Amino acid sequence: MAVFTPVSDLDARKLLKAFGVGALRELRGIAAGIENSNFFLDTDQGRYVLTIFERLDANDLPFYLELMQHLAGRSIPCPNPVADLTGELMGRLHGKPFALVSRLRGEALTDPEPAHCAQVGDLLATMHQAADDFPGLLPNPRGRAWWEATAIRVRPHLDDSQAALLDDELARQRQFAAQDDFSRLPASAIHADLFRDNVLFETAHGASSSTRRLSGVIDFYFAGVDSWLYDLAVAANDWCIIDESGAFDPARLSALLEAYRERRAPTPAEIKAWPMMLRAAALRFWLSRLHDLHRPRPAQLISPKDPRHFERILRDRRPYCPPLA
């Protein structure tokens, strides 16, 4: 969530009038992330997040907004899109599509404890069950076709060791995807980006950090139809690691997986595919960070992320992965 497209107070007042959600009190750009332009937008009637989509195809935007509506209607604590006075969920600002959604309470955690990982595991399984009947069919926008195309663009920037790692992992992932077990993995619309900064927690006054309760999940703009196992692998690779090394923290991983399994038992095909899916999730984010580093876009506020972090995670996952069950 960076700021590529500036929004003035005048822009915000015109927008708020079209949505009928009150008078502007504060407009503030959000610096975290690197895909869209995001702003906190507070009015005398409520608190919202304004997102201007910089690269997303406007034809795909209804999928994301309707998915959030669907999940919110099933008691998933996610942003709920706000319709304007004509009933539309999306509009245009400075020639780009935008959406206005409810702002959730809470803050992201940088150093989660196993109890927090357990809440994330429970949330993820609940989201998968809630999305099972969502009719949207948009494929994962950062899926396998995107990996192959992005690998070609970033490979000239890699040293020999990195290039060898990339080529070998892509080859092994192709073999994995061709297996019958892969086609039998349960799938639906998934979040696909459930990192620590996309989950919010609240702390009761005077309570300890371990008693923080999960209050929301945000940023569904990488969502798409893919396997539930991939979604779980993305979360595990971020929530359950020893930060610098990329290796798993056993207590965090156990808490996440046990909570997920209590809500939804993995299938035999998922148990078999788990090690390769952890590698697939690491490969996807290594590629995206390489792309953002070597092919950046200008922005007013931007926080680039180090691709070596997910290179380390991928290297750690290749020799051995803890079992799913």
d(CA 290, CA 157): 9
Helix 228-239 × helix 308-317 angle, to 10°: 110
Q: Name which of 65, 29, 226 is nearest 140 in CA terms.
A: 226
For residue 44, give every residue at least 6 positions away whose Cβ sits within 8 Å of its Cβ, in sequence order, or none: 22, 23, 25
Q: Name which of 265, 279, 127 is nearest 191 in CA terms.
A: 127
pLDDT at position 210: 64
Q: Name which of 214, 215, 213, 219 is nearest 191 in CA terms.
A: 219
Give the H or E element holding residue 278. helix 268-294
For residue 98, give every residue at least 6 positions away whose Cβ sits within 8 Å of its Cβ, in sequence order, or none: 15, 50, 51, 52, 53, 90, 91, 92
The beta-carbon contacts of 155-160 under 8 Å, at least 24 apart in sequence, are 157/290, 157/294, 158/290
Quote the Cα angle for 162-163-165, to 5°: 65
Q: Name which of 192, 178, 270 is nearest 234 in CA terms.
A: 192
Strand partners, 227: 187
pLDDT at position 1: 44
Question: Which conformational region is residue 210 in: left (phi greater than 0), alpha (psi within -120 to 50 degrees), or beta?
Answer: alpha
Dihedral sign for Cα atoms in the order 235, 238, 241, 246 = positive
Candidate CATH numbers 3.90.1150.10, 3.40.50.720, 3.30.200.20, 3.90.1640.30; the one for domain 9-102 = 3.30.200.20
pLDDT at position 164: 98
How confident is the prediction along the chain (325 residues), in pLDDT tens digits per residue? 456 899 999 999 999 999 999 999 999 998 765 678 999 999 999 999 999 999 888 899 999 999 999 999 999 999 999 999 999 999 999 999 999 999 999 999 999 999 999 999 999 999 999 999 999 999 999 999 999 999 999 999 999 999 999 999 999 999 999 988 888 999 999 999 999 999 999 986 555 666 799 999 999 999 999 999 999 999 999 999 998 889 999 999 999 999 999 999 999 999 999 999 999 999 999 999 999 998 876 654 455 689 999 999 999 999 999 999 8
pLDDT at position 303: 59
Q: Where are the domains of the chain?
A: 9-102, 114-317
Rounded to the nearest 5 percent, the helix, strand and coil shares of the chain are 45, 15, 40
Structure tokens at 9: 């107070």
Candidate CATH numbers 3.30.420.40, 3.30.70.360, 3.90.470.20, 3.90.1200.10; the one for domain 114-317 = 3.90.1200.10
pLDDT at position 313: 98
